[in-house]
Structure 1
Amino acid sequence: MALVFLLLIANSAIAQPPSWSDWRHGYLGHSRAHAAAERSSAPLVVYFHADWCGWCRKLNTRYLREGEVRSTLSGMQKVELEPEKGASENKLFRQYGGSGFPSFHVLVPASGERPVKLSPFKRSGEWSPARFAQAIREAASGQYNRWAHRLERNGDRDGALKVLEAALEYDSGNAYAFYLQGLIHHKTGHEQRDVASLRRAKAAYERALALDPGHRGSREGLAALRDL
């Protein structure tokens, strides 16, 4: 009898949703989280779910409570919403292109990029929590990368470098961010004949190649600096 009681307690604990203590809630919570993320150039996670949804319960218990996923989300703005419990929440759900649950989105509002929808549940099988955490980081860093690329193309190199620093905070394995840092320092060093900038470019290219040995742009950039 005692064993059955302990098993019931254990199963009850496993079935509990993640702690929402560091999440905002509902439509108003979304407005506040979005504004905070835009001010700080931070990523935003928007999660639509429903009480009856079995896949939502699995996302809650297997993924959102897991250590690496929680660590990945810790520096991000986060909001959870239940579209079936409010007209404003349902309207927002539709604006995000929602058509079923769970509906989990990652975006960097300040970047102007469209939200990236993620799910660890695939026809080929379920992702591990570590793979889901990686996908969240990659979604955020991809938005930073595209934002930085636009800034660099428009001549705002300092702004691009700041965005790339933010990108690497969320995904230190972001080879493209290191490459673009190298490219910016390379251009600056070449134009200003600044050896320090060229050395920073070389170091950034090397970091990119350590992560992605086949990265063509970094290989070409490093070859151009071979005599440095």
Structure 2
Amino acid sequence: MLNAQKTTDKDIRWMSLQEAEQAAKTAPRPVLIDLYTDWCGWCKVMDKRTYKNPKVVQYLNQHFYAVKLNAEAKTPYQWMGKTFEFNPQYRTNDFAIYLTGGQLSYPSTVIIPAPGEAPQAVAGFMMPKELEPFVKYFGDKAYPNTPFPVFHKQLKTKW
């Protein structure tokens, strides 16, 4: 298994984009992408405060394939048979533009519910309690049948 670790680990099992794509084809789970840049201060804060939270770590490791993705990477990204190149006009990779629908903001948390489905992005820093409804909506598979506002209202938050 790719990057195999126990789900009781203290850290999120971050995978490469290719590893997550392969894993999702073999054993379907949503893919969560932490879209960041090297210069983004709030990205670093989210790494320390949100992605180190034990409840976040445990939930993401059990329900998602997690990927850290530098939006400004000059190397191409491959996803679902397509190659995404660095876009000098926007000073970002075209994959970041695709993931955010052109609404570039860092950090952005992006979930791809299943292979071939459209990415769902939330821009900005989120504390664990703010991240919880978003990830549970997809991780608990509520998204195909329940509108997010209904799910969010019914969710008993624990983080």
Q: Above 0.5 in TM-score?
A: yes
Q: Root-mean-square deviation (CA), in Å?
A: 2.9
* CA distance in structure 2 between the aligned counterparts of 1:63 and 1:91, rounded to whole angstroms: 26
User: Is it true that 1:45 corresponds to 2:48 in the alignment?
Assistant: no
Higher relative contact order (CA 8 A, sep 6+): 2
Larger Rg: 1
> Is 2:119 the counterpart of 1:115?
yes
**What is the TM-score with the length of structure 2 in the denominator?**
0.63
Aligned pair count reads 122
1:180-227 per-residue CA deviation (whole Å, 9 max, x = no partner) reads xxxxxxxxxxxxxxxxxxxxxxxxxxxxxxx79xxxxxxxxxxxxxxx
Q: Which has the higher helix share?
A: 1
Structural mapping, 1:50-199, within 5 Å:
50-75=37-62, 76-89=64-77, 90-97=93-100, 99-110=104-115, 112-119=116-123, 121=125, 128-140=127-139, 141-143=141-143, 145-146=144-145
TM superposition shift of 1:55? 1.2
Shift of 1:134: 3.0
Specify every segment of 5 or more residues in structure 2 that has no aligned partner in the other structure, as ranges.
Answer: 1-9, 78-92
Which stretches in structure 1 are left out of the alignment for 5+ residues?
1-17, 122-126, 150-173, 176-210, 213-228
Relative distance call for 1:85 and 1:115 in structure 2 (3 A) is closer
Whether the aligned pair in 1 keeps the contact of 2:14 and 2:67 (CA below 8 Å) is yes
Q: Does the CA contact (< 8 Å) of 1:44 and 1:78 recur in 2?
A: yes
For 1:91 and 1:120, the matched residues in 2 are separated by 19
Distance across 1 between alignment mates of 2:133 and 2:122: 11
Separation of aligned partners in 1, 2:124 and 2:11: 20
Length-normalised TM-score, structure 1 = 0.46
Q: CA 1:131–1:85 in structure 2 vs 1: closer, same or farther (change >3 Å)?
A: closer
Percent of aligned pairs sharing the same letter = 21
